[in-house]
Amino acid sequence: DDTNLKHIFNGHSSAHMDFSEFRKMSHFCWNHSDYGFMVVDKTREMNEETCQVKNADCSGEE
């Protein structure tokens, strides 16, 4: 739900994108694949890509 998503957004991604973009990316991860997920890498610098969309497929294919 958006309440929990806002908590994640405020704690980890608000400096990098607006909430609507974060929400679209999150829903894409959850709805695109049964095993899709998003990584927020807080060790990267501000000018580097900090969010990555991944598709974990149990069959070994990506």
- Provide the domain limits for residue 11: 2-55
pLDDT of residue 60: 44
Summarize the confidence of residues 1-11 as an average pLDDT: 86
Q: Token pair of 3, please?
A: 């309440």
Q: pLDDT digit string (tens) for 22-51?
A: 888 888 888 877 777 777 777 766 665 555
Instruction: Please report whether residue 62 resides in a domain.
Output: no
Instruction: Please report whether residue 14 resides in a domain.
Output: yes
Summarize the confidence of residues 18-24 as an average pLDDT: 88
**26, 12 contact by CB (below 8 A):** no
Instruction: Please report whether residue 60 resides in a domain.
Output: no
Domains: count for the chain:
1
Q: Name the band, by pLDDT with cuts 50, 70 and 90, for residue 53.
A: low
Whether the pLDDT of residue 62 is over 60: the answer is no
Instruction: Give the relative orientation of helices 19-32 and 2-12 as an angle to the nearest 10 degrees.
Output: 120
Instruction: Please report whether residue 8 resides in a domain.
Output: yes
CA separation, residue 46 to residues 20, 51, 55 (Å): 19, 11, 24
